[in-house]
Amino acid sequence: MSALFDKTLREVIELSASSSPAPGGGSVSAIVACFGLAMTAMVCNLTTGKKKYREVEPQVNEIISTADNLMRRLEELVDRDMAEFNNYMRAFRMPKETDAEKATREEAMQKALVKATETPLDIARVCLEALRITARLSGMGNKTAISDAGVAAVIFDAAVNGVLLSAEINAAMIEDQDYVKRVIEEKEAMAAAAGRLKDEAVAAVRARIKES
The range of the structural domain enclosing residue 78 comes to 25-82+114-211
DSSP 8-state secondary structure symbol assigned to residue 125: H
pTM: 0.94
Backbone angles phi, psi at 122, to 5 degrees: -65, -40
Instruction: Write out pLDDT tens, residues 145-183.
Output: 999 999 999 999 999 999 999 999 999 999 999 999 999
Flag whether 73 is in a domain. Answer: yes
Flag whether 45 is in a domain. Answer: yes
Flag whether 127 is in a domain. Answer: yes
Flag whether 6 is in a domain. Answer: no
Query: CA 204 to CA 188: how far, in whole Å?
Result: 25
Flag whether 20 is in a domain. Answer: no
Query: CA 35 to CA 18: how far, in whole Å?
Result: 22
Flag whether 75 is in a domain. Answer: yes
Flag whether 93 is in a domain. Answer: no
Instruction: Write out pLDDT tens, residues 94-149.
Output: 999 999 999 999 999 999 999 999 999 999 999 999 999 999 999 999 999 999 99
Flag whether 61 is in a domain. Answer: yes
SS3 of 106, please? helix
Instruction: Write out pLDDT tens, residues 60-100.
Output: 999 999 999 999 999 999 999 999 999 999 999 999 999 99
Burial class (CB in 10 A: 0-12, 13-18, 19+), 11: exposed
Query: CA 166 to CA 18: how far, in whole Å?
Result: 18
pLDDT score, position 1? 46
CATH of residue 134's domain is 1.20.120.680
- When divided into structural domains, the chain yields a total of 1
